[in-house]
A and B are shown apart, each in its own frame.
Chain A
Amino acid sequence: MPTGSLRLWVVWSWRDLRRRWLLVTALALVIALGTGAYAGLGGTTAWRLESNDRSYASLRMHDLRVKLPAGAFVPQGSLLRAVEGIPDAPVVDVAVERLIAPTLVDASTGTDQLLLPGEVVGMPSGVSPVDALHVEHGQGLAAGDPALDIAVLEAKFASGHGLPPNGKLRLSTGTTLEYVGTGYTPEYFQVTGRSGMVLGETGYAVVFAPITVAQRVTGHVGQVNDLVVRVRPGTDQEAVRRQLTAALAPVGGTVSTRAEDPVHRALYEDAQNDQTTWNVFAFLILFGAAFATFNLISRMIESQRREIGVGMALGVPPRLLAVRPMLVGVQIAVVGVLTGIGVGWLIGRAMGDVMADLLPLPIWVTSFQVGRFAQAAALGLVLPVIAAVVPTVRAVRMHPVEAIRTGAYKSARPAGRLLTLLSRTRLPGRTYLSMALRNVLRTPRRTVFTALGIAAAMTSLVAVLGLLDTFTAAGDAHTDEVGHSSPGRLVVTLDTYYPLNSAPLRALREEPAVAASQPQLAVPATLLGQGADIESVVQVVDFTNKIWTPTLLGDRGPKTGIVLSEKAAQDLGLAPGNVVELRHPVRSADGFRLVTSRIPVRALHPDPWRTFAYLDVAGAGQFGLTGTANQVLVMPAGSVDELERAVFGQPGVSSVDSAAAFADVLDNALAQFTGILRVIEIATLLLALLIAFNTAGITADERTREHATMFAFGLPPRVVMGIAVGENAVIGLLGTLAGIAGGYAALRYITSGLGEVTPDLMVRPTLSTTTVVAVLLLGTSIVALAPLLGLRRQQRMDIPAALRVVE
């Protein structure tokens, strides 16, 4: 090709770009959004893992941790001596004893009552060599003044309740602590609380204090129950673990590795598992953008077909004729990719900001994922060019006469059968009112492609909202179950197992603020399955009590059998009447020992949380705890606040929770999760709007002469605009309906993979009516109203010029 000729075509293409800059920019934005979302959403694992690594390293997370059973304490120094006594003691770099004791925390400010369960973490003053404290606001635990009752309050709890960086806390032991700052240690990057659920921080107050202070305020002077250890790099940690387990067997200590820390595991697993979900959205948005790009670029190039026909008639070689339309694709690709890098960076930043808000890691890095962006850039470059190839080839292969022929009838002819159907179908009403539907039907390929682009964007939106609906439904199911009778009841947790006629239980029974009470047991246990053990809390409940009992589904097993959640039964492949293996503690003369029992499954319960299991009180013997209780269900005689105040400080009471507290935790978690989904929601809505805007813009171009003809016949502009809105509304409706169907399918796919992300929760893909109606209205109206953006252009139309427009 002569250079001069090429220059002409490039210049011509540049003029095309200037003429269509708005459309090209809007199309490039579609590409940018698609590729940007692909890069931004698709690359979260790398930076999340990097953030985790650096955060844990900065606070010197332990390699091994020793925990004594609940309620067991040993004299300070005895755990360290046990470490020193193991054969591998020389490889232990540093070991630190701690005291972690449950308590009730009164963080009330002014008129707001804030009485919540929590724990005091006694740790070294100053900078701990293991599991150091990261101070978010205020001061840390200054070394050298252990006499002062100072503490640091867990940061998310403080920020969640809007507490200042310093203030006073009262514990249920009657002590007042001055907290001088807010912060957290590595085990509390996420606070699970007693719920065992991540993001439960606002319902659980963790107080970090110098160990001597912690011992004093919890009444465990000179005692510890926790040890954290760092070993030298390259050490066989399993060997050290075995030696420590053996050394601590007499006191029942369990040894866990860093990887077994639930928060550590959750952070690393989430970084991987969440990516699966983000990938779905990334691909959906990219898919939508790809469809839109194909469709819109095709239409742009089709509008040049007459000029291509003229070129062919003049004998210009087809390959040269192809240059100009192909350059349209290249222009869009280049602008799209350049913008896409920015959009991807923005999405990555937005995700990073939301994650940083959600998970208070000391170090967050949202580094630019070069590889992922390179993939996205390659896609962004290739997509528009491929999209331009098909219509270009079609145009240059067309017979010149056909391409040159004037009139609006040579393109987008409907298929034969549809044509016949259309010609014979009489739509009621004025012709111009039915024109919207006619226009949609006579260009089925265009309609389908446009609707598919909208559908892909809507699919993402529906999947996002569906996820929220799904978790909301799970929360509602939990609330329904725990609240099906006496929803106002409270659960008072005691610090150990007390005989039923003991003073703490008597005090609670006789407390005037308590209308009714029912003692029960809550025993941690593990349901054993084929490679899928389930950590559980077995509640031993009197099934004849009047306050609350679980709903029994399929009550076919023996009355002494265990009641499992549907999810646990499903995961373990069990049904009522089967037998489950339960590893649980049994109280013996010198403490507790773990045993494995085979217990028949009596029934299932509908609570979506699989951690809850129930036994009738007759089954308390399984644990050697007959005639004892460590929890009391209480019905308040007056207000909940009064009852909380009344039992606060009573001996043996470690926490008072509303029965619905767990649902609140879920709601709170959901509210924070919403922040992440909001990023995707904005991206999808923006994509739908861009597709709609582009569609409306190109349609307006194509229909210019029709609109001018209508104006020439005196049809008012509002009616003409109404036709355009109607046409878009039909496409928007079709796309949105397809999007809702696609969104539900995507939701099913995503929820099928949630087993790894939230293994304890039964999630059933749920789309609420509100979501369906809202998406239907939103999707249809966004697309329908897009032509209004061209209102000004329509009002300024040069009718005579438009009537002469040939193409």
Chain B
Amino acid sequence: MDQDIATHLRASSPDLSTGTRVDLDDVAKRYVVGDSTVTALTEVNLHVDEAAFVVVLGPSGSGKTTLLNMIGLLDTPTDGRVALNGRDMTRSSRREQFALRRRSVSFIFQTFNLFPGLTALENVQFGADVAARPAAADIARDGLSRVGLADRLHHFPHQLSGGEQQRVAIARALATDNPILLADEPTGELDFRTGVQILELLQEQAEAGKTVLVVTHNRELSRVADRVIELSSGRIVSDGPPVGGKSRTADLRW
């Protein structure tokens, strides 16, 4: 039956080409809260043409997570256009959005969002399963080895430390093998040492040809990025390589 569902998932996915390109044109997002309107994003233009490690910087409330949600098609813009690999997804159907999330983007959440009922191995396998990848269990085992958790395969999330949980979450996102990786404050709840390990993992993904988009308020992280986009009050206030050039993770301190 599971094979049927996997086949169905593949078959039900619209023909969406997969790639690393992300385009946001004049994107705005406004929320109506009670009697007032809150602007989360305004006039955002962002283009990522090829694989890169992109850090989106900004203080709390600057619109970082909203931006990530727009790219991940979890939210729709009030104005403007969001395109993945050249295809305008702004007015795509719910079905297309789900299919694209299965095939193009993967999320790493600040609070991990692991499934408590699944072991580490199964959580990672979930990623491969959703993407309908064959030999999902092997992929998951391999993924956990890559994040240094080969000895924690059968542990449930509550039996893992925060850093371990985040590594499982990253392994889960990687298990989808989707070209765009979206990480929301991936080191936010981690100690420095674990945070650096996570960053290195994400860097590896960019080097391997994926678009990795990390949103954070930690300016230190931007030092290892290929490109740093700074948000303030919903607007992009700067976009370019890190000031002072790209550093090594070993040089980071926070």
Contacts and interface: CB of A to CB of B under 8 A. Distances in A.
Given A431-B129, A712-B109, A804-B65, 17 more contacts: A409-B114, A423-B119, A430-B2, A435-B115, A435-B118, A441-B117, A712-B101, A713-B101, A713-B127, A714-B98, A714-B101, A714-B103, A715-B102, A716-B9, A716-B95, A800-B75, A803-B109
A438 B113 contact: no
Interface string B127-139: 1011000001000
B25 to A, nearest CB: 21
A806 interface: yes
A438 B115 CA distance: 10
Contact of A433 (B1, B103, B115): B1
Interface in A381-434: 406-410, 413, 419, 422-424, 428-434
Interface in B83-121: 95, 98-103, 106-107, 109, 111-119
Given A714-B101, A806-B111, A424 B12 contact: no
Interface in A432-481: 432-435, 438-439, 441-442
A664 interface: no
Contact of A431 (B112, B113, B122, B156): B122
Interface stretch (A202-210, A640-648, A703-711): A703-711
A305 to B, nearest CB: 15
B246 interface: no
Given A430-B129, A719-B5, A709 B115 contact: yes
A713 B106 contact: yes
Interface in B127-182: 127, 129-130, 136, 154-158, 165, 176
B5 A407 contact: no
Which of A423, A441, A804 has most B Cβ within 10 Å?
A423
Contacts of B129: 430-432
Contact of A709 (B65, B109, B117, B122): B109
What are the 4 tightest A-B residue pairs by CB atom distance, in nearest-first order?
A: A409-B158, A714-B102, A714-B101, A429-B2
Nearest to A424: B154
A442 B5 CA distance: 25
Chain A interface residue number, banded? 35 or more
B252 interface: no
Interface residues of B, number: 46
A270 B177 CA distance: 73
B119 A439 contact: no
Give the most central of B99, B103, B114: most A CB within 10 Å. Answer: B114
Contacts of B12: 716
Contacts of A716: 9, 12, 95, 98
5 contacts: A434-B122, A706-B115, A711-B98, A714-B100, A714-B130
A431 B118 contact: yes
Contacts of A221: none
B126 interface: yes
Contact of A430 (B5, B107, B165): B5
A431 B125 contact: yes
Nearest to B109: A803
B69 interface: yes
B6 interface: yes
A413 B155 CA distance: 13
B215 to A, nearest CB: 13
Interface of A: 406-410, 413, 419, 422-424, 428-435, 438-439, 441-442, 705-706, 708-717, 719, 799-800, 803-804, 806
Given A424-B154, A716-B98, A435 B117 contact: yes
B236 to A, nearest CB: 20
A438 B118 contact: yes
B74 interface: yes
A408 B101 contact: no
A438 B158 CA distance: 15
B120 to A, nearest CB: 9
Contacts of B112: 407
B16 to A, nearest CB: 11
A799 B99 CA distance: 16
Nearest to B184: A803
Contacts of B155: 423
Nearest to B158: A409
A705 B117 CA distance: 13
A800 B136 CA distance: 27
Nearest to A436: B117
A678 B100 CA distance: 52
Contacts of A433: 1-2, 5
Contact of A712 (B95, B107, B157): B107
Contact of A419 (B101, B122, B156): B156
B72 A712 contact: yes
Nearest to B162: A407
A429 B74 contact: no
A575 B152 CA distance: 71
A184 to B, nearest CB: 63
Contacts of B119: 422-423
B117 to A, nearest CB: 4
B72 A715 contact: no
A421 to B, nearest CB: 11
A559 B108 CA distance: 90
A714 B74 CA distance: 10
A708 B107 CA distance: 12
A713 B69 CA distance: 12
A712 B74 CA distance: 7
A715 B130 contact: yes
Contacts of B127: 713
Given A430-B2, A714-B99, A709 B113 contact: yes
B113 A705 contact: yes
Contacts of A708: 113
A803 B117 contact: no
A442 B116 contact: yes
A431 B168 CA distance: 15
Contacts of B125: 431
A444 to B, nearest CB: 12
Contact of B136 (A430, A434, A706, A714): A430
A423 B117 contact: no
